[in-house]
Structure 1
């Protein structure tokens, strides 16, 4: 690569890395790329300059690989300028002995190159990996393992092929068991194994060939000083950190994490008895105890959290962790101190998700399918559900997490975290919100603000995340006074909560069977909001009335009840009244349904329907719609004779409104009430009632009916 650089730099003094970037600004794309590669090959430059060059190279490669961002300037594809030596240079910056910043930028550059170069890049990568492993020095092992660990998430299929190449995984055991060993080789190998566990064939290979020496690492006892032989000397001591048969704490911790990942996923059934995987001797509970002990040590915290994220998938570990108050406090503290978008944050949130998640409720059909799958997998029986994962146990774990002050920490993390971590935060809040006794405190601690922010951040296509957020919001809004959460000195507008709640009224497109619980709890929350003022009611009517109207006819009595209760509150606004009383045919049909619901078997449904009619009958158009129905007045009078004082109150208010309606509507109403036996019904209501308010309304209506009857009788005598 000497000739291109000679064209631009005439000075006989070698250019510094920073000047390479500065002087290449006006060069062609090809020359810029060549100069960046030359700069990266320079030894001894500062990490800051290396990161700048890697970042610039990443952008050039990324832009050049897309039709939308590729420069119109005629040029050779930039990835073709990167030969095997250049690839080796870039991969060298993935070495674990490099700084975290350099490795991060090098990972992005490697990703951009592999995306642009396709098969050629894979060929260079394979050559690099195999050549380093064949050389067999500690330095080469460290670099090969470091590269594999970094690129596994980028090209998992390619890296898995390298990892599973004949003899590679099996050779790790003898390497790790050398009498003289390198801490850094052990750490690099374990970092590679840790990432490789994401791939099922790789995980099975690790379990088969590496479980035994991983167990040895975790359970080893450090030798005494006098056991070391002063006459022995190590070989292959290239990396300067060679020691006799001991393991550093970080290596032991990382080995425990890998073991946890191997144990959490059951092994595939063995087809060959010679290759049978030996069961682990270190239990998950023992590993979780190790991770708990590591949590308070800052240098081991990341490994501890990662290990706990896997260990806490097991129910017995969940119970043990949640009952340890000191551990939960350490975990919440670690989460509070973890930087946003960091592995520590994601890992700590994963642990909390595992501790707080409820098992999904299964329908009868889903239970049968689950049983059939169990039989198909050659199980003798489908097995009983794990009692440690039942609702009672999960509820206690949620309470324990809440008691450690988790919500304020989650609120803080929600403001700066990634979309992925925000999804975990919402899952935790959703689980805790199932306990109605905690909802008020959750609201005070900022949970509503957290959920509204999350809903605005999740993309529209993230339906599951948005629905979970809306459901958690619904639960909290059921149990809290909206006036304490919205308005006044609180900057949250009440209307911001309506759109998420309305989402739950629609079917979940990702679910084969409709779950009515979110619908029901959303209706309750909307009803609570609709009890405030028209700023809440009108958006509900404008944006979702067809859905609400459809739910009114649900086969589920709880959904019907909740819908009628919502409609009752919506009748406090003229827009709601118009839906039943604008004189149109749809309005008349809605009135017919509402009247029919006053005769429902469910008391709460009858009460809500009566409340809605009490508001509606204040309008003469609504009274007219009732009078047009053959049984309209009769159903109102039935309410006046109910055993419940509440229902009688609603009935007599409706009757009084009907006979007080203006002009001809009122005359018609008076006539129909008398013809339907209104006087006797009101007299019966008087006998049953004890409430002063009910008595006063009943007396007023009865008096008006009797006066009208008397006037009507006098008129007949005159005639």
Structure 2
């Protein structure tokens, strides 16, 4: 930092009088001076972070405050990332370091690299601790930059001799493993760790402190050594746990093996399997949940990527209950919360649905990657096994905990919560209980809270909501004084009526499920029907002509419910070209090939023909009366019932529309059609309506 006299001050008013460069000098001088309370140090970092962020946003780099941040200043900032600092201080220092690297660009990258390797070259335990802590803290915020530093030639091999020293430093081991743990998120770093560090990681994990203690005692009964002490020259339990987490990441997401001849292939067969590590994490969590939960949860979050481990964890009731409790007690937006949520997401995740073409392409890729050997799909990932795991997770009491965490969680954790509920909602038998435990309100709130940049999570929330509402009574879900009004579910459901524009293939399942859910809501009251029409009508109408008959049928069924309200009737009874066209489409669907579609369209016409304008529209439409009479000739009695109700409404209509309808019915052999319908029908209500319609036609004839 430039040698200029600086008068230290903490007065905000005086600080405001200084330009940004002088403010930065002053803050850095205070940080170098040290001796402040933790909250004062955090405030200093916050001010410096703001200055750096403002600096990064400006185009003029000549006056950048990074110009006054020399190697000594960088050393000062980075030293506050030391694990021996208070967690609060480290958290604020990470934000400042991140802001500096962003503002300084290539200069910041060079400064970080110089700081790191300068500390490593010094070779003292204290310098190792600081260097490793800095790498661990910076890795998540600048992964590419830190990975290049981490993969520098000779660095990883040098850790072998350090970690195998006769006299060990617990803090050096911990700091080194924290760095490896952070680095193992990167695929290239993970491969390098597998190559150079897996042997001594195995040794750390496999160490048995009890056996060593007995051996020392038998050799020298007067020596009393504790686990992890320097006297034992062995690793602490915390170090073992952290090493196990790193191995779990290597086992769960294996690196690409090096098989070329002539290469220095140091990758050996794993001594500690992913199953062994899972049992270790499980034991840690069940026997010492307070001290072991951080590492055990992180380890299980990676181990449960493997299908066999998913089954093992899901079928351990005690472990699931403990994980639910850990999640319930975990602070919002904490790594522990994210790790526990990741475990449940892994347990409940279904494999993505594939078209026949996609399955063929996957098989070809697997064949090519396996050098001629087709990789079989793991049966533990099939829908049956996933469904069973979902039931076990649900029975462990996960949903109320997810509801609580969703209120204060980050966007990332909320997305995971949605994916868990989304998976649970696939099982029909769970949907009613999901609604009872607050999943409907959770999905509505999550859809509303998530930004549009998280569109995939929003669509998943809406689809989970649709599934639950298909299988539950809206009056029970939304009843009560404290319940969320059911109209709040309409916008999320509407959002998934159009296919996902970002998807490579067109998936109509969300559309179908949304239509079914809206149909269920539309069965309740006129207020809900009106809201659906005002919010969703263009999207609903578009699905009427879907090439998929299930989607088309679902859209007609929804319309059948919507035309029970005044606003729905107006869509078809108004004297406009749009209304006439809608009626034309409904008549065409009443003559569709699919029986369910014909039935739904007939139900809509049965309601609409109570109005003169609709009767007139059918009579004027070519083949309109013919389609209606065709319904009366259907083999299914339900369809014939709809048809004769439509006929009765039309011939009973007063005024000019009624006269036209009766005339058209007679000219299209309506009397004979109705007589045949009466002979074929067995249900009293069908026969009764048919006879009434016949009576009206025959009376006018005479």
CA distance in 1, matches of 2:215, 2:578: 95
Task: Specify the alignment match of 2:47 in structure 1.
Answer: 56
Query: Which piece of structure 1 moves more, 193-202 or 142-151?
Result: 193-202
2:138 is equivalent to residue 151 of structure 1: yes
Q: CA deviation at 1:276?
A: 4.2
3-state SS of 1:553 partner: coil
CA distance in 2, matches of 1:365, 1:630: 42
Question: Which of these residues, 682, 697, 700, is aligned with residue 705 of structure 1?
Answer: 697
CA distance in 2, matches of 1:488, 1:134: 68
Task: Specify the alignment match of 1:293 in structure 2.
Answer: 283
2:237 is equivalent to residue 249 of structure 1: yes
Unaligned ranges ≥5, structure 1: 10-14, 234-239, 711-719
Task: Specify the alignment match of 1:123 in structure 2.
Answer: 110
Q: Is the 8 A contact 1:30 1:75 kept in 2?
A: no
Q: Is the 8 A contact 2:490 2:535 kept in 1?
A: no
Q: Is the 8 A contact 2:544 2:552 kept in 1?
A: yes
Task: Specify the alignment match of 1:521 in structure 2.
Answer: 513
2:629 is equivalent to residue 646 of structure 1: no
Question: Where does 1:28-67 land on structure 2 (aligned, <5 Å)?
Answer: 28-67=19-58
CA distance in 2, matches of 1:668, 1:488: 50
Q: CA deviation at 1:683?
A: 2.4
3-state SS of 1:185 partner: helix
Question: Where does 1:32-431 land on structure 2 (aligned, <5 Å)?
Answer: 32-67=23-58, 76-222=63-209, 223-224=212-213, 227=216, 242-270=230-258, 271=260, 272-296=262-286, 297-431=289-423
Task: Specify the alignment match of 1:716 in structure 2.
Answer: none
Query: Which piece of structure 1 moves more, 250-259 or 479-488?
Result: 479-488
Per-residue Cα deviation, 1:410-434 (whole angstroms, up to 9, x for no partner)? 0000000001100000000000000
CA distance in 1, matches of 2:16, 2:570: 68
Q: Is the 8 A contact 1:21 1:53 kept in 2?
A: no
CA distance in 2, matches of 1:488, 1:226: 68
3-state SS of 2:168 partner: strand
Per-residue Cα deviation, 1:48-105 (whole angstroms, up to 9, x for no partner)? 222121122112222222139x9xxx99422222211111111111111111111111
Count of matched residue pairs: 689
Judging changes above 3 Å, is the alpha-carbon distance between structure 1 residues 506 and 200 closer, same or farther for their aligned structure 2 residues? same
Per-residue Cα deviation, 1:208-258 (whole angstroms, up to 9, x for no partner)? 01001101111111112662899xx9xxxxxx9745432111111110110
Q: CA deviation at 1:106?
A: 0.9
CA distance in 2, matches of 1:105, 1:90: 10
Q: Is the 8 A contact 1:21 1:36 kept in 2?
A: no
Unaligned ranges ≥5, structure 2: none
Q: CA deviation at 1:580?
A: 2.7
Per-residue Cα deviation, 1:142-182 (whole angstroms, up to 9, x for no partner)? 11100110111222222122212221100111111111101
3-state SS of 2:57 partner: coil
CA distance in 2, matches of 1:304, 1:505: 42
Task: Specify the alignment match of 1:717 in structure 2.
Answer: none
Q: CA deviation at 1:384?
A: 2.6
Q: CA deviation at 1:268?
A: 1.8
Q: Is the 8 A contact 2:342 2:416 kept in 1?
A: yes
Q: Is the 8 A contact 2:499 2:508 kept in 1?
A: no
Q: Is the 8 A contact 1:312 1:318 kept in 2?
A: yes
Q: CA deviation at 1:662?
A: 1.8
Q: CA deviation at 1:287?
A: 0.8
Task: Specify the alignment match of 2:602 in structure 1.
Answer: 610
Per-residue Cα deviation, 1:286-331 (whole angstroms, up to 9, x for no partner)? 1111111122421121111111111000000000000001100000
RMSD: 2.3
3-state SS of 1:301 partner: helix
Q: Is the 8 A contact 1:440 1:479 kept in 2?
A: yes
3-state SS of 2:114 partner: helix
Question: Where does 1:475-514 land on structure 2 (aligned, <5 Å)?
Answer: 475-486=467-478, 488-514=480-506
CA distance in 2, matches of 1:648, 1:683: 12
